[in-house]
Structure 1
Amino acid sequence: MKILNKTSSWFTNIATIIVREFRTIGTSYAILLVLMGGIFVYGLLYNYMYEPNLIRNAPIAIVDQSRSTLSREYTRLIDAAPQVKVFCNGSDFPAAKELMKKNEVIGIIYIPEDFETRVNRGDESIFIMYGTTDAFLYYLAMQESSTGAMLELNERYRPDMIVFLPQQDTRQITQSKAINISGTALYNHTEGYGSYLIPAVLMVIIFQTLLMVIGMISGDEKDTGSILQFPGKGTSLSRMSGIIIGKTFVYCFLYAIFSLFLLGLMPVVFNLPDIGNKYEIVMLMIPYLLATCFFGLAASAFYTDSETPLLMIAFFSVGLIFLSGVSYPLELMPWYWKASHFIFPAAPGTLAFVKINSMGASIADIRQEYITLWVQCIVYFTLACLAYRYNIKVSEKRFLLTPIR
């Protein structure tokens, strides 16, 4: 009977913590701003910035100061590229700048006077490219089209340049066979930047905003002493685990809804890769959210107020994507970066999600990342209990033992 009473009291305390946590989130404008801004605004804004994904027929201006046969051929090759379209071709650079200021062109390619002369001398010819920053992909479109045209031009005129080479090298070059290379980008055949990057960013948004919310609440509890108002007495493992479970239930409940918006709706609206099995994505998100919650609660020992987490977490998105192995191969990283990959839940979670969602992998294919997340759940749950025991003891010394003046 005594055991049943203790169990009933433990569950009652958890329910009280859940209600309290919902009330804390619902009555804090700062936390609601992070949730609404971080999840909805940031998620929509990031997708909108990369929404074109592939730039086609973007207008550019050519400023041809060379006015030579070679420069005109180079201009035609640029115009033939699918990424851009030559809006105007002249020699008036100030007029081209005005067009770019009026957003009639996305950039300018400047061909200097000695463009053909340098080629005829056997030197490297140069061109100058100016681009607007209205969209992140405009520069990439100009760079791909201008570089591709230059490579094609180089292939056409390379046989004529053999006269500038030393005599001993000429024979080897003329006898060597040409190699034709044909390739297709795996899992991103359109080579779109957004379809490659955004799925990873969405997982990092979930991780970052969840840590911010947990940190703001935990920091405020320590700063105001409200951590002492949790139901129960003492710092036993049973009470600490009840606090952690109650808080985690609230965060996981909210972020299950937010994950449906970011990982379910955003790929449909913005035509992102979405070939993964929905059931397996759900199975991945369970340990991912749990590990993130426990990690954030374990880190609460370092928070002294509600503002500190915003400064500590807000600028780590690039580093987390790097550690995940999506933007840089994990196999090529030094050992210390590989070790960091297994510390932050965002790293294995993001890599696993990209494998499932963009590459069509199964749970068996993400076995290492999946096991890592569950191990993190166990480790960080234990650390979270110890962290809250420490937080309560520190708050007791600060608020209960402070002399009255």
Structure 2
Amino acid sequence: MRTIKELHILFREAVSDTFFIWRKEAGRVVRDQGVLIFFILVPVLYPLLYAFIYTGETVREVPAVVVDGANTAFSRDFVRRVDASPDVKVVARTGNMEEAKELMRRTKAYGIIRIPDDFSRKVNRMQQAYVGLYCDMSGLLYYKALLTACTDVSLDMNTELQIKRMGNTTVRQDEVSTAPLLYESVALFNPTNGFACFLIPAVLMLVIQQTLLLGIGLINGSARERATLHTQLVQGTGRGTVRLVLGKALCYLMLYALVSVWVLIAVPQLFHLAQIPQASDLLAFMVPYLLACIFFAMTCSILVYQRETCMLIFVFTSLPLLFISGISWPGVAVPDFWKYVSWLAPSTFGINGFVRINTMGALLEDVTFEYVGLWIQAGIYFLTACAAYYYMIGESRKIASKRAQTELAQALPSESDLSKKAESLN
């Protein structure tokens, strides 16, 4: 049994060794331009790029072309009201669909409003009339604006027709007859009903995980290429795999604590995105998320044998992870198999918990499932990271030993060279 004094000395050595590795890893990060790009440049610029792209959460004056087959006062009134809405701008009126399609092919318009020949006749006969709407579905915001404008105008004109056909009635009777049930649509936690408030928070959390995967993969890929991972142990000794993992993780954690402030707080404020978090709850939630992402990235780095391999392995996973997280694609529509697969990545728990805390004002107890899940992931991935580094360190020693033997063999003269030299001397 060790005495308390011996345990105290061992603890001090462990702390000293961990901070020694932390200093070495910080220097390694600063000297590697590729790692700096993933750890600094990408987290700084990528959120700005995404937020800037989606900053126009709603579009106005979407160009549309009208094919008015009826060409009556009633159909022209319909077109005039659509054009007067803030969402749509009628840029042309054509006589047939082919001309309208040509305008869409040339991107002069993003939608076609087609009014059939019998439009006014059916309305006058108290029959149901139809208006066709054709949209360029490559831009969902354009489709949304066109559909909303046409639907609102149709509802307003329907109300006026009802009132007109009821005859002599009071204003109150008209209101009750045309709208017996009043409703009000409120977009909870997304006041602009746009894509930025909905999508950007999830992307920001995913950026943290993916840049850690790429940066740590780049560092380990370089070390495995050169077979120098074993030299990163404490002062070149053969001990300290756990201390190596903790020292490296401490370096990444301190760096990404600053990165997270920029990504998750500064960027949403710059673009006026919805933010109603409790600072203490958000901080408490981010600690296990960063630890889980760091140890997850350190574990996955066992797949990286060369410096460039991390780009091939990890970059393509961004979109699948975003979809199966249950944010950009409805969580209830994700099959159970992929839902369980998504639990392997910290981003799933991180995205769902962060969105609820940051955008919906949830407290830490409201995201207990995600919070506990992140701590479990942090613990499991810490153990797997230690196992991965133990394997990679042993592999690095073997490769370095073989290289040293090969270089020694090349440096020493062969037996045939020695015999020839002896013969020449004789």
TM-score (norm 2): 0.77
Question: Secondary structure at 1:53's aligned position in 2?
Answer: coil
1:257-295: per-residue Cα shift (whole Å, max 9, x none)? 111111111111111110111111111110100000011
Q: 1:153, CA displacement in angstroms?
A: 6.9
List gaps (5 residues or longer) in structure 1: 159-176
Match of 1:27, as an amino acid? R
- Gap change, CA 1:97 and 1:37, over 3 Å in 2: farther
**Alignment of structure 1 residues 1-400 onto 2, 5 Å:** 2-55=6-59, 57-64=60-67, 66=69, 68-69=71-72, 71-87=75-91, 89=93, 107-109=110-112, 111=114, 116=119, 126-130=132-136, 137-146=141-150, 148-149=152-153, 182-232=184-234, 239-400=240-401
SS in 2 for 1:327: coil
CA–CA separation in structure 2 for the residues paired with 1:156 and 1:99:
33
Q: What is the rounded CA distance, in whole Å, between the counterparts of 1:298 and 1:87 in structure 2?
A: 57
Distance 1:227 1:318 in 2: 32
- Contact 2:68–2:116 (CA<8 Å) still a contact in 1? yes
Assess, with a 3 A threshold, how the Cα gap between structure 1 residues 253 and 138 changes in structure 2: closer, same or farther. Answer: farther
Code of the aligned partner of 1:126 = G
List per-residue Cα deviations over 1:184-241 (Å, max 9, x = no partner). Answer: 33222431221111111111111111111111111111111121211336766xx122
- The amino acid that maps onto 1:335 is D
Aligned pairs, number: 380
**Contact 1:68 1:116 (8 Å CA) reproduced:** no
Counterpart contact for 1:118–1:124, Cα < 8 Å:
no
Shift in Å at residue 341 of structure 1? 3.2
Greater displacement, 253-262 / 376-385? 253-262
1:115 and 1:126 in contact (8 A); partners too: no
Structure 1 residue 301, shift from structure 2 partner: 1.3
Deviations 1:329-367 (A, max 9, x none): 434433212212321110011100000111110011001
Greater alpha carbon shift after TM alignment, 223-232 vs 384-393: 223-232
What does residue 170 of structure 2 align with?
Answer: none
Closer/same/farther in 2, CA of residues 329 and 95 from structure 1, 3 Å limit:
closer
How much does 1:58 deviate? 2.0
In structure 2, relative to structure 1, the CA distance for the partners of 1:131 and 1:332 (3 Å cut) is closer
- Counting aligned pairs with the same residue, the percent is 29
Distance 1:35 1:125, change over 3 A: same
Q: Following TM superposition, by how much is the alpha carbon of 1:150 offset from its aligned partner in structure 2, in angstroms?
A: 6.0
Cα distance, 1:148–1:343 mapped onto 2, change above 3 Å: farther
Retained in 2: the 8 A contact 1:100–1:132? Answer: no
**CA contact 2:66–2:113 (8 Å) conserved in 1:** yes
What is the root-mean-square deviation of aligned Cα atoms in Å? 3.5
- For residues 235 and 380 of structure 1, the distance between their equivalents in structure 2, rounded to whole angstroms, comes to 23
Bigger mean CA offset, 206-215 vs 378-387:
206-215
Partner of 1:166: none
Distance 1:38 1:263 in 2: 14
- Structure 1 contact 61–96 (Cα < 8 Å) conserved: no
Report the alpha carbon displacement of residue 34 of structure 1 after superposing the two structures with TM: 2.3
Report how far residue 96 of structure 1 moved: 10
| Partners of 1:62 and 1:88 within 8 A in 2 | yes
TM superposition shift of 1:25 = 1.5
Q: 1:265 to 1:119 in 2, by over 3 A?
A: farther
Relative to structure 1, the CA distance from residue 108 to residue 126 in structure 2 (aligned partners, 3 Å threshold; closer, same or farther) is closer
Instruction: Return 325-334 or 349-358, whichever deviates more.
Output: 325-334
- DSSP-derived class of the 2:190 partner: coil
